[in-house]
Amino acid sequence: MPTYEYLCESCGRKFDIFQSINDPPLSQCPYCRGEVRRLISGGGGLLFKGAGFYATDYRSEAYKEAAKKEKDSKKEEKSKSDES
């Protein structure tokens, strides 16, 4: 269900309401019964953070094997440098 943002003209309170698209807009503030107006909101943004799902979920087996070998070789190099 969409979230709609309203501003009360009487008390100045901003609030969000979950409403169906088919529901009529609110006309009264649920807090003070004053007149409200629906605000234009930016909507919810979708944000992917990190390495991403595609890079980790849909790689070929050959790529996964090569990445594992590279990771293992880096571990070996690090352990050799730590020993010195």
Tens-digit pLDDT profile for residues 36-72: 999 987 666 676 666 666 655 667 788 888 888 998 8
Please tell me the predicted confidence (pLDDT) of residue 62: 86
| pTM for the predicted model, two decimal places | 0.50
**C-alpha 18: how far from chain center:** 18
Output the furthest CA–CA distance in the chain (Å, rounded): 75
| Assigned domain for 44 exists | no
DSSP code of 23? Answer: S
User: Is 48 a member of any domain?
Assistant: no
Question: Is residue 9 in some structural domain?
Answer: yes
User: Which tokens go with 24?
Assistant: 């009529």
Average pLDDT, the chain: 83
In this predicted structure, what is the pLDDT of residue 26? 93
- Domain residues for the domain of 72 are 53-83
| Residue 43 placed within a domain | no
Domain tally, the chain: 2
Task: Decide if 18 is inside a domain.
Answer: yes
Question: Has residue 47 been placed in a domain?
Answer: no
Query: Are 30 and 7 found together in one domain?
Result: yes
Percent of the chain with pLDDT over 70: 76
Same domain, 32 and 57: no
Beta strand 14-18 pairing with 3-8: antiparallel
